[in-house]
Amino acid sequence: MENRIPLRFFAVTFLWSWLIWAALVFAGAGIIPHGFLSEISLPVMLLGAFGPMVGTVVSLYSLEGKGAIKKHFKSYLSLNFGWKAWLAIFLVLTAAAFIAWILPEFFGSDRLPAILPVSFIIPYLLLMIFLGGGQEEVGWRAYILPIFERKFGLIIGSLILGIIWAVWHIPLWFISGTGQSYMNFLGFTLMCIGYHISFHG
């Protein structure tokens, strides 16, 4: 049972995020009027990013009961990873970030402009881990990744989940001003896979 993949996690995660982000996609395409939505686009985008957290809560509550939610969040908020884990985080994520921007050149494309200078990569990663994307990690890293590892192994599990995670971000390529607009999808997918390998449980 512990290796069984809770498909409801993915159903809730994608439905929550994609339905919310769809409003911004349609507004940007002129399908629906911008109106008030353009003034609150950032909060709406961040609200959509809570999909993995909502998926986790729904899955834990429906499969294991209310107590499992408290236990999960308590475990997630513990930062006692050990120095080797932190070193792996910085090495793999930094390398993946470089690949994401440089890789297109090998296919004849111009390097896309980075949002921040290279020197800001590590501070940016820390910001995303603990603030900008922390709500995602409640689901992707702390909940579903260990299940994929047990079922498929570290490398294959991270590969599969990294691809799923990248696909989950697809609507953001169609929303103006997102970080995804500065990266190609293949490079971003590689970064997602590297991220999951770094944060294996």
Q: How many domains does the chain have?
A: 1
- Report yes or no on 97 lying in a domain: yes
Distance CA 198, CA 148 (A): 14
Do 94 and 121 touch, CB atoms closer than 8 A? yes
Which residues, at least 6 apart from 23, have a Cβ–Cβ distance to it below 8 Å? Answer: 32, 37, 44
Determine, yes or no, domain membership for 109. yes
Q: Give percent helix, percent strand, percent coil of the chain, each to the nearest 5.
A: 80, 0, 20
Distance CA 174, CA 25 (A): 6
Dist. CA 41–CA 34, nearest whole Å: 10
**Residue-level pLDDT at 141:** 83
**Mean per-residue pLDDT over the chain, rounded:** 78
Residue 183 located in a structural domain = yes
Shortest CA distance to 135 belongs to which of 4, 16, 5, 7?
16
Q: What is the mean pLDDT of residues 16-25?
A: 93
User: 87 or 156, which is more confident?
Assistant: 156
Lowest pLDDT segment from 24-28, 126-130, 148-152, 191-195? 126-130
In a domain, 1, yes or no: no
Q: Is the dihedral of CA 132, 167, 188, 58 positive or negative?
A: positive
Using N-to-C axis directions, what is the helix angle for 185-198 and 83-102, rounded to 10°? 170
Closest to 17 measured CA to CA, from 148, 141, 182, 133: 133
CA distance 148 to 107: 32
* Token pair listed for 27: 């507004």
The residue segments making up the domain with residue 100 are 7-198
171 belongs to a structural domain: yes
Q: Do the domain assignments include residue 189?
A: yes
pLDDT greater than 80 at residue 48:
yes
pLDDT tier, 29 (very low <50, low <70, confident <90, very high otherwise): confident
What predicted TM-score, i.e. pTM, was given to this entire model? 0.73
- The reply to whether 2 falls in a domain is no
